[in-house]
Structure 1
Amino acid sequence: MNAAAPLLLDLDSFLARAEERGTPLDARAADAVLGLLALSRARRRTGLPEPTEELAEELLHTLLPLYVSAAADELPGFVAVLIALADHTHEAGRLNAKRRAKLVARVHELAEGFVQAMTSPRRVTWPRLYGNLLRADGVDAADARAVRDWVAAFAARPYADRHTAHGFALHRGDGPLGEAAYVEALCAERSRQARLLLAGRLEAEALAEQVRPRPGESPLIRDAPAGEPDDELEAWYDEQAGILADRWTAAGLDALLRGPYAHLAPGGGVPAPLLTLAGAMAEQHLEMYGDDFAPMPPAPLPATPEEQAARLRAVPLPRLLEQAAVEPEGADERTRELALAAGFLVPAHDGALSAGPSAETWREGGPAELTGLALNVLGALLAQLAEEEETAEDFAGEHLLTLYLLCERSGMTQSVARLAAQEDMWFVPPERENTPDGTVPATGDYELPDLRALSEILGIPGLTEADREGLRSPAARLVCLMDRLAALGVTERTGDALSLTPLGSSLLRDALLLGLGGEAADVFPSWAQMLAWDAERLVTAARYWPKPVARRTLGGWLALQGPGGWTALFGALAAGGPLEEGARRRALLGVLDGMAVPGEALHALLADRVLGGWAEHTLHALGHPPVTSAVPLSARAVYLVDELEAIRLAASLDHRMTAGPDQEEPELFADLHAGFDKAAADWPGGGPALLTALARADPYTSAFLAQQLSQHPDRTTAEQARRAWRTFRTSSTARSPHTTKPAKRAGGKRKRR
């Protein structure tokens, strides 16, 4: 075996010694273990690499799963080689008995993870995969002719058979439909990185031997060149990496998968757009919500995989890319670039373009394969749009952020003008309903709404024609972006009305779930998943959703639960927590339809120490005033905390929207002053007692009321407010880290024209 190897290791003597001891070793396993350890810069003072615990872990959990094909029953042979090598190192005097025992124990500990890594579909490379498949078919992997015949026969098998043989089909229930395509893309990327890593280790070892050889160690790399041009050196080390890859997988396989059968191992050039998209989507979610996998709101999705496939086949962009694969010279430059990035076209060594693997997937693929194809096209399209002049991004990932924010709106229709203003960093009141302008023409070039309608949509009074003109360019860029995405069926727009399609929500859902991995099973739930939640899970998620989305989702959940659902929901809404947790939960009361709450549920809620005041107020609004003595004073304090805080926030927002640029907020808003005095007039003990009750009801929310009320003209009330504010600022509550979900990113600076 040594004669054909690019590594100078005395493998035969090592195998012969094992044979003499009556513990024969598998030659191919020994070749791989010794070679990979040597390329990991293991010391070789005994003539063979000397294992350590760290090197053993890297070998078993990283390197062997990158480079070696092996059936499950062959895996113990690799562990046996490593233990035999530890024994050899001990016998040579380079490892004492205690360290040898510790190393062997560690190898046995690592063995279980080694088996998992070697058998996981997410850990294969193309050479490993095909090496495993041909061995399973009984092919002699050392016979290059037999390997070539098997590969040729495999290539002739139907598309569906080949994909089934790969073992990537992993879709389960509500999981991402594109999971198989994602695992295939991981295989392609691991293959690419493995080849680069192996060639790099060969070159690094050869360079180290030439520049600073280690005492007592003979050369490892056979006939390593020196002083050649960089491209020649790169080609030589790449060739040597191919020789090693064949020894550890199957003879001649490397040349086949990089030559006439390259279509069987796609993705060797750059990372698949699908991987980039999934990673970016996950990064965006973690930036927004932290690492607690907070769920996004459910959105309308295609009902079945077959419906999703039908929607994909009905959109124009994949058909355009398929045509480019048939006639590359007939496609425009933009289409050819996209077809290359998405795998519909591949370049030959002579520069000619031919149909790539995505063209076959489009023709032959089922729902899962088409979904993976669409994710690749979407990732490639976003990258292209980020660079083109009409849609160039102001910062990396800007377009994905736009799509992510549309996901948060759960497929609900948005106003182009409003979204463009938000992207241009205008300060747009966040609580305002996002209703598109119906007067914008449905066809032709997009036109912003007139000034009156624009002010209404944005919630910004007094806009001028100059303001409208300043929004024209951001709106045009957004429309161009959305209309290009509409060609893939991701978005749809009519005039000023814009939304994600069910197909778009499904593709972005897949990208997010794939990027976050198995721990985030319901981070973007389907409606069926959401309807199966209990009330606590629903409220925990919905407290951060936009109000129109929360209204629709809670309404759907309650409709399924029946009357008993109200009791469970109220229990979850009444739950408190650190900092603003309780207030966020109670804010969902504002999205409920009071008319729909059963009267008996409201009357039963009157005695609740948290929500009794809200129930009392709702019954008054419905014309059914309750027996007021049933409501605890603490519940009325909770209701007043929320009511006064709403007044404060509204006054602050009104000031921001109408005041001059240098005009600071008043120390005490007039509306808050009036609202507090009105409540204090009916509260036992007046203003100071009310402040105490508010602080007990919700220390976090009441603290910001107290800060303003410290300027109250009544000295007793003002002093009580200052005391409450000081108490909050020095309390553990104020100083503790935020134990609930972090606030969402503001999105950068805001401007108002």
Structure 2
Amino acid sequence: MDDEDLRLTPRPHTAELLRWAEEQGLDPVPEGPLNAVLTLLELGDARLHDGFPELTSPLLQELLYERIHLYVQPAPDQDPLAYGAAVLLLLEHQRAAKRLNAKRHERLRAEAEWQGELLAGLLRQPHLLTWPRLYALLLRGAGVDTADPAAVRSWLDGYRELEPHDQVAVLAGIEGLDQPEGTDGWTEGVLLSIGMATDGARLLVENRLMQRSYRNLAGLNALGLPMPAELSGDFPQFEAAVQAEALRLLGEWTVPGLPELLLTEYQDLAPEPGAAEVDHYIVKRGLVELPDIGDWPAPEEG
């Protein structure tokens, strides 16, 4: 697997931006949130100028309101407003590089400020969680050393042994979430939505990684260079590399190694429902009534 050819791994200019901020005397921004913001923008639709994403109003909304809460779980000692602060720092850099005029800069700053505050609230909503974010909260709340894979596995094994009602009690005890309904808030629908969001969020990152790689390969093709072996057939190696990189990124934003564990060894603790399970839930809840097959109109004879 030649990463120089496939270019799957994003290469955000985090260190360079932090150095620039220090030179300019700007308020420091934590490296983790800044790296997450730059990476998600790089994997999105942002145009890059000298390696830095260029922000627009639609990109701000997509990042801070629609996307980032699917992926990041701030550490207990980290201010959730740091993600908005990271966007503000990027805007200052964009303005200094003369890529924004004063009017657009002021408007985007205002949007980033209120959407960054909104994000802090979104991160507290149980129904907006994904499994990696949820288990990151559980592990940290239990005092587990998340840098120790054995400790993470041990806690997951213990949680797996709990009865379902005891598991729900643990969920209801999570600090850092708004849970006015307590255990009653952890309904089947909430858990179903967490599984669906997890699957969708991971697939989105995988698709963006593929697009990033394909753009680089188009450049190789234009130069008359051969295509990497991973893409010469049905590319199972490429698909495996894409999933591995997506899981690595998801772990970088929550707990390293955790997303892969939840997808493989502990899938029973983090189910991702298919269409049949979703349809069953909808019908069971009476949200839609499917007609009996006997009532379906017979096909017209040709």
TM-score by length of 2: 0.79
Matches of 1:154 and 1:272 in 2, distance apart? 27
Equivalent residue letter for 1:15: L
Does structure 1 conserve the Cα–Cα contact (< 8 Å) formed by 2:13 and 2:38? no
1:143-184 CA-partner distances (Å, limit 9, x unpaired): 44443343334334443332222349x897xxxx89701110
Match of 1:18 in 2: 21
Listed as ranges, the gaps of 5+ residues in structure 1 are 214-222, 285-396, 403-419, 426-473, 475-753
Does structure 2 conserve the Cα–Cα contact (< 8 Å) formed by 1:66 and 1:125? yes
| CA spacing shift, 1:47–1:171, aligned 2, 3 Å | closer
1:598-642 CA-partner distances (Å, limit 9, x unpaired): xxxxxxxxxxxxxxxxxxxxxxxxxxxxxxxxxxxxxxxxxxxxx
Match of 1:129 in 2: 134
Instruction: Tell me how far 1:189 sits from its aligned partner.
Output: 0.9
Higher Cα Rg, which structure: 1
Equivalent residue letter for 1:181: E
Matches of 1:171 and 1:76 in 2, distance apart? 23
Instruction: Tell me how far 1:282 sits from its aligned partner.
Output: 3.5
**Residue 119 of structure 2 is aligned with which of 101, 114, 119?**
114
Instruction: Tell me how far 1:276 sits from its aligned partner.
Output: 5.2
Structure 1 position 164 matched with structure 2 position 163:
no
Match of 1:79 in 2: 84
Does structure 1 conserve the Cα–Cα contact (< 8 Å) formed by 2:146 and 2:152? yes
| CA spacing shift, 1:16–1:154, aligned 2, 3 Å | farther
Match of 1:51 in 2: 55
Match of 2:203 in 1: 196
| CA spacing shift, 1:134–1:58, aligned 2, 3 Å | same
Matches of 2:146 and 2:233 in 1, distance apart? 34
**CA RMSD after TM alignment:** 3.3
**Residue 270 of structure 2 is aligned with which of 265, 271, 288?**
265
Equivalent residue letter for 2:84: V
For residues 225-244 of structure 1, what are the structure 2 equivalents within 5 Å?
226-244=231-249
**Residue 12 of structure 2 is aligned with which of 9, 12, 16?**
9
Does structure 2 conserve the Cα–Cα contact (< 8 Å) formed by 1:186 and 1:275? no
Matches of 1:260 and 1:60 in 2, distance apart? 32
Instruction: Tell me how far 1:253 sits from its aligned partner.
Output: 0.4
For residues 25-40 of structure 1, what are the structure 2 equivalents within 5 Å?
25-40=29-44
Matches of 1:115 and 1:92 in 2, distance apart? 29
Structure 1 position 148 matched with structure 2 position 41:
no
- Partner-residue secondary structure (3-state), 1:282: coil
Matches of 2:232 and 2:65 in 1, distance apart? 36
Match of 1:614 in 2: none
TM-score by length of 1: 0.34
| CA spacing shift, 1:16–1:262, aligned 2, 3 Å | same
**Residue 68 of structure 1 is aligned with which of 65, 69, 72?**
72
- Partner-residue secondary structure (3-state), 1:267: coil
- Partner-residue secondary structure (3-state), 2:34: helix
Matches of 2:114 and 2:229 in 1, distance apart? 37
1:114-145 CA-partner distances (Å, limit 9, x unpaired): 22321111111101111122223344444444
Matches of 2:75 and 2:269 in 1, distance apart? 21
| CA spacing shift, 1:212–1:94, aligned 2, 3 Å | farther
Does structure 1 conserve the Cα–Cα contact (< 8 Å) formed by 2:46 and 2:54? yes
1:691-745 CA-partner distances (Å, limit 9, x unpaired): xxxxxxxxxxxxxxxxxxxxxxxxxxxxxxxxxxxxxxxxxxxxxxxxxxxxxxx
Does structure 2 conserve the Cα–Cα contact (< 8 Å) formed by 1:126 and 1:188? yes
- Partner-residue secondary structure (3-state), 1:31: helix
| CA spacing shift, 1:134–1:199, aligned 2, 3 Å | same
For residues 711-722 of structure 1, what are the structure 2 equivalents within 5 Å?
none
| CA spacing shift, 1:253–1:53, aligned 2, 3 Å | same
Equivalent residue letter for 1:263: D
Does structure 2 conserve the Cα–Cα contact (< 8 Å) formed by 1:147 and 1:250? no
Matches of 1:117 and 1:10 in 2, distance apart? 27
Which 4+ runs in 1 deviate beyond 4 A?
A: 274-277
- Partner-residue secondary structure (3-state), 1:49: strand
Does structure 2 conserve the Cα–Cα contact (< 8 Å) formed by 1:46 and 1:89? no
Does structure 2 conserve the Cα–Cα contact (< 8 Å) formed by 1:126 and 1:187? yes
Does structure 2 conserve the Cα–Cα contact (< 8 Å) formed by 1:68 and 1:248? yes
Structure showing greater relative contact order (alpha-carbon pairs closer than 8 Å, 6 or more residues apart): 2
Matches of 2:36 and 2:137 in 1, distance apart? 15
- Partner-residue secondary structure (3-state), 2:264: coil
Structure 1 position 282 matched with structure 2 position 287:
yes
Instruction: Tell me how far 1:79 sits from its aligned partner.
Output: 0.7
Equivalent residue letter for 2:47: R
Identity fraction in percent: 30
Does structure 2 conserve the Cα–Cα contact (< 8 Å) formed by 1:198 and 1:241? yes
Listed as ranges, the gaps of 5+ residues in structure 2 are 1-7, 174-178, 221-227
Equivalent residue letter for 1:105: A
| CA spacing shift, 1:275–1:34, aligned 2, 3 Å | farther
Equivalent residue letter for 2:212: E
Does structure 1 conserve the Cα–Cα contact (< 8 Å) formed by 2:172 and 2:186? no
Matches of 1:275 and 1:69 in 2, distance apart? 30
Does structure 2 conserve the Cα–Cα contact (< 8 Å) formed by 1:185 and 1:275? no
Structure 1 position 41 matched with structure 2 position 45:
yes
Does structure 2 conserve the Cα–Cα contact (< 8 Å) formed by 1:135 and 1:141? yes
Match of 1:700 in 2: none
For residues 457-496 of structure 1, what are the structure 2 equivalents within 5 Å?
none
Matches of 1:162 and 1:282 in 2, distance apart? 27
Equivalent residue letter for 2:52: L
Instruction: Tell me how far 1:233 sits from its aligned partner.
Output: 2.2
Matches of 1:272 and 1:60 in 2, distance apart? 32
| CA spacing shift, 1:228–1:244, aligned 2, 3 Å | farther
Matches of 1:271 and 1:424 in 2, distance apart? 22
Equivalent residue letter for 1:398: P
Match of 1:93 in 2: 98
- Partner-residue secondary structure (3-state), 1:105: helix
Does structure 1 conserve the Cα–Cα contact (< 8 Å) formed by 2:83 and 2:116? no
Matches of 1:22 and 1:93 in 2, distance apart? 18
- Partner-residue secondary structure (3-state), 1:74: coil
Matches of 2:296 and 2:42 in 1, distance apart? 56
Instruction: Tell me how far 1:254 sits from its aligned partner.
Output: 1.9
Matches of 1:234 and 1:153 in 2, distance apart? 33
Matches of 1:7 and 1:225 in 2, distance apart? 19
For residues 724-735 of structure 1, what are the structure 2 equivalents within 5 Å?
none
Matches of 1:142 and 1:63 in 2, distance apart? 26
Instruction: Tell me how far 1:84 sits from its aligned partner.
Output: 0.4
Equivalent residue letter for 2:28: P
- Partner-residue secondary structure (3-state), 1:133: helix
Match of 1:581 in 2: none
Match of 1:256 in 2: 261
Match of 1:398 in 2: 291
Does structure 2 conserve the Cα–Cα contact (< 8 Å) formed by 1:131 and 1:250? yes
| CA spacing shift, 1:84–1:230, aligned 2, 3 Å | same
| CA spacing shift, 1:46–1:142, aligned 2, 3 Å | farther
- Partner-residue secondary structure (3-state), 1:244: helix
- Partner-residue secondary structure (3-state), 1:44: strand
Equivalent residue letter for 1:84: L
Instruction: Tell me how far 1:30 sits from its aligned partner.
Output: 1.2
Equivalent residue letter for 1:134: L
